[in-house]
Amino acid sequence: MIRGQLTLGTVIAFMTLLTYLYGPTQNMITTRLNLERAKVAAERVLELLDEEPEEDRGVSLSAPAGRVEVRDLSFAYPNGKAALRHVALRVEPGEWVALVGHTGSGKSTLLSLLVWLFPIPEVRIWIDGQDVAQLSLSSLRREVLLVTQDVFLFSGTVLQNIRLARAGGTDEEAMAVAQALGADGFIRGLPDGYKTLVGERGAKLSGGQRQLIALARAVLRRPKVLLLDEATSALDSESEARVLQSLRALLPTTTVILAAHRLSTVRAAGRTVVLKDGRVVQEGRHEELLVAPGEYREVLAEQLVGGKEG
């Protein structure tokens, strides 16, 4: 322009036109990013679609009493790691049994085998005298329910998440259960109460709040056997005590097997089974085990008492 080769108008026009270029360039870059993301997501979806569905053949449990029996159960993970060795366990209908043991002793493994998360080749587990391998998965999982420490919530409302346990249930039922478990207070305190969206995987709730929702869901389902794998671990002791008490009242005939590290949880059960390196090493009532030297006292000293409750 200084040399007189361009007019001021041309420069201004050029500058103005240049700004039109920014938008599309930006778009081209984000489109490419989005395409990459979509590709990864699509791969995951296809992977899932390619999964072979679990076969749902076999006998259906009708009106089970909830007796659980495990005989000489040994189990190793696919990587060869032995997690259970010759475990025997018998739990009567309506009985509460606690599983105790150091980290890695096999508690979660035992519970997951009871709901057939991993197939075992031999006949070792019976529900009401029925070999678990012969049961249809839908029937087994209707009667035997595993609640783990990490709760999966779907993005939706609190109420939807509780109610999904049972088709045909009512809002009132779900709310009554939440109330009995002591979850009502926090739920009503949420911005939209029971209609509050919990976010992706329940991200907007605390760990303890998610556990309360999972437990309400479990109660609504009315299983004959309830397996709690540290399912109350994120609750404070007071809330936990209330939950366990309510569970007993709401599910009076349900058999409960709970894996726990906390003394207060263990004491809720009538009988305790102590695992060590995949073996049952002790069994009995809390008071009996407390006076006998052995693994229970060791675990208790290190984990259950944990400083606070001691």
Which residues are near ligand ATP by CB under 6 A?
77, 79, 81, 83, 101, 103-109
For residue 61, the Cα-to-chain-centroid distance in whole angstroms is 24
Task: State the binding partner of 101 from ligand ATP, Mg ion, none, CB within 5 to 8 A by kind.
Answer: ligand ATP
Both tokens of residue 110? 């035992």
Q: Which is nearer to ligand ATP, 120 or 176 (CB)?
A: 120
Calculate the alpha carbon distances from 111 to 24, 65, 91, 161, 272 in Å: 56, 18, 13, 23, 15
Assign 216 to helix, strand or coil: helix
Q: Which is nearer to Mg ion, 183 or 214 (CB)?
A: 214
105 binds, among ligand ATP, Mg ion, none (CB under 5 to 8 A by kind): ligand ATP
CB of residue 133 to Mg ion, shortest distance in Å:
23
Contact 220, 173 (CB under 8 A): yes
Q: How far is the CB of 97 from ligand ATP (least distance, A)?
A: 15
Work out what residue 109 binds among Mg ion, ligand ATP, none; the CB cut-off runs from 5 to 8 Å by kind: ligand ATP
Q: Which does 195 bind (CB under 5 to 8 A by kind): Mg ion, ligand ATP, none?
A: none
C-beta closer to Mg ion: residue 67 or 107: 107
Site for Mg ion contains 232 (CB under 5 A): no
Contact yes or no for 135/59 (Cβ under 8 A): yes
φ/ψ bin of 94: left (φ > 0), alpha (ψ from -120 to 50), beta (otherwise): left
Return the beta strands (E) in the chain as ranges. Answer: 68-76, 82-91, 96-101, 125-127, 130-131, 144-147, 225-229, 255-259, 271-276, 279-284
Regarding 108 and contact with Mg ion (CB under 5 A), the answer is yes
Closest-approach residue to Mg ion (CB) = 108
Q: Which is nearer to ligand ATP, 204 or 279 (CB)?
A: 279
| Binding range to Mg ion, per CB under 5 A, among 105-113, 165-173, 193-201, 246-254 | 105-113
The encoded tokens of residue 37 equal 């993301």
In the complex, least distance from residue 274 CB atom to ligand ATP, rounded to whole angstroms: 11
- Give the nearer residue to ligand ATP in terms of CB position, either 109 or 161: 109
Judged by beta carbon distances under 5 to 8 A according to partner kind, the member of Mg ion, ligand ATP, none in contact with residue 156 is none
81 to 76, 85, 224: CA distances (angstroms): 5, 11, 31
- 185 torsion bin: left (phi>0), alpha (psi -120 to 50), beta (else): alpha
Residue nearer to Mg ion on the CB measure, 105 or 130: 105
Q: State the residue for tokens 């050029």.
A: 14
Residues that bind Mg ion (CB under 5 A): 107-108
